[in-house]
Amino acid sequence: MKDTVIKRCRTEHLDAELFTPFTISTGSHKSLENAVFSLEAACGARGYGEAAIATHITGETRAATVKNLRRAGALLAGRDAADYLGALRLLESELDGNRAALAAAQMAVLDLACRLQGVSLWRFFGARAPRLKTDVTVVIGGSAAAYDFTLKMRRRGFRIFKIKTGVDMDEDFRRLEAVRKAAPGCAVYLDANCAYTAEEAEKFLKELMRRGIRPEVVEQPVKKDDVDGLAYLTRRLPMPVCADESAYSLDDVFRLLRRKAVSAVNIKLTKLGFLRAREVWALARAKGIKLMMGEMLESELSSAASAHFAGGLGGFDFIDLDTPFFIKASGMRGASFLSKDGVYSLDRVKAGIGVTPGARR
């Protein structure tokens, strides 16, 4: 048997407590409930992937994702990791209806292929930007909690704050003003997760700017199918309007760009998988629109995979890979290249993603 043949696959739950509930306009996570997918080649090399299950955003469940990962394991067993591209394509056709499973299985294949070659995923994708600094998210909640959280994270060295909005406009104004007070001069991104109509979003942003707060980017202000609303806001607002929920597939992004509906796109591996994420990157770069690298609620493993992807390819304007800072103890090891102030030093990773699940895996 060739030593690069995949001989074993495993799927396990990844559970961890959060420091604080991760609340956005469409729902709330109280804990991390993901899955880890691992592959082992005949030579003993391993690759790992993480499925980030965000039921209130994608409708995907952990039960279905685990089932699909077990199916992916059966498909991959006996295949040669040297044909990683064939494996990525096979997963793409088999797991299109469960993107969390698709991303995890493709992540494990690429992690294994890179480890077999002794290169990092960052180097594999082009080694363009060796360091990425993430923003940090201020979730929906009261302004006093937002103030305390922002102050704590600013003292730790964070300089960009991504504010979730969209449940109550008055509370949102108070929360944004609290963030400004706790972190004067720091950059602010806004993410409404589909909460507004185009007119409401315009009114909200105009009032915010009247109060002296000007976000650097406004993410997903309107419902995911409201392409006219996105186009309206892209014409009317002075800052980039970024598609996230509206950019769930390559053809979604193709249509949005053709209509000039957005001026930025949020790429998440969990929405697109690796092959289509790379195509979205290429299309967006060709059209000259801005790029955000984002994620669902993810541990160090898949957050780092996203950082490798973005830093490897380069050209990302906004980095939103902060969810490891919300997780108490994921059990992941090797993530010391992610500093406490949110910097991913990708050139320090020797092989693959550089993060492995704890000993029991």
Of 270, 259, 262, 271, the closest CA to residue 291 belongs to: 262
First to last CA, the chain: 24
CB of residue 320 to Mg ion, shortest distance in Å:
8
Closer residue to Mg ion, CB minimum distance, 191 or 226: 191
Binding site for Mg ion (CB under 5 A): 191, 219, 244
For Mg ion, the nearest residue by Cβ is 244
CB of residue 355 to Mg ion, shortest distance in Å:
23
Closer residue to Mg ion, CB minimum distance, 27 or 78: 27
Which two three-digit tokens encode residue 163? 């504010």
CB of residue 136 to Mg ion, shortest distance in Å:
14
Cβ(324)–Cβ(92) below 8 Å? no
Closer residue to Mg ion, CB minimum distance, 87 or 217: 217
CB of residue 195 to Mg ion, shortest distance in Å:
11
Q: How many CA atoms lie within 13 A of 281 on its CB side?
A: 24
Return the C-alpha torsion angle 74, 335, 139, 311, nearest 10.
Answer: -80
For residues 175 and 75, give the distance between their C-alpha atoms in angstroms, rounded to a whole number: 48
CB of residue 100 to Mg ion, shortest distance in Å:
16
Helix (H) or strand (E) run with residue 290 in it = strand 290-293
Closer residue to Mg ion, CB minimum distance, 129 or 293: 293
Closer residue to Mg ion, CB minimum distance, 4 or 302: 302
CB of residue 234 to Mg ion, shortest distance in Å:
16
Closer residue to Mg ion, CB minimum distance, 60 or 191: 191
Q: Which residue has the tokens 């691992």?
A: 38
CB of residue 191 to Mg ion, shortest distance in Å:
5
Closer residue to Mg ion, CB minimum distance, 129 or 297: 297
CB of residue 236 to Mg ion, shortest distance in Å:
20
Q: Is 286 exposed, middle or buried (0-12, 13-18, 19+ CB in 10 A)?
A: exposed
The CA R_g of the chain, rounded to the nearest whole Å, is 20
Which two three-digit tokens encode residue 43? 């030579």
Strands 136-138 and 160-164: parallel
Residue 266: count of CB within 10 angstroms of its CB: 25
Distance, C-alpha 22 to centroid of its chain: 14
Closer residue to Mg ion, CB minimum distance, 39 or 195: 195
For residues 86 and 94, give the distance between their C-alpha atoms in angstroms, rounded to a whole number: 12
Closer residue to Mg ion, CB minimum distance, 60 or 244: 244
Distance, C-alpha 64 to centroid of its chain: 21
Instruction: Tell me the helix, strand and coil percentages in the chain, rounded to 5.
Output: 45, 25, 30
Which two three-digit tokens encode residue 270? 């969990």
CB of residue 360 to Mg ion, shortest distance in Å:
33
Strands 187-191 and 6-24: unpaired
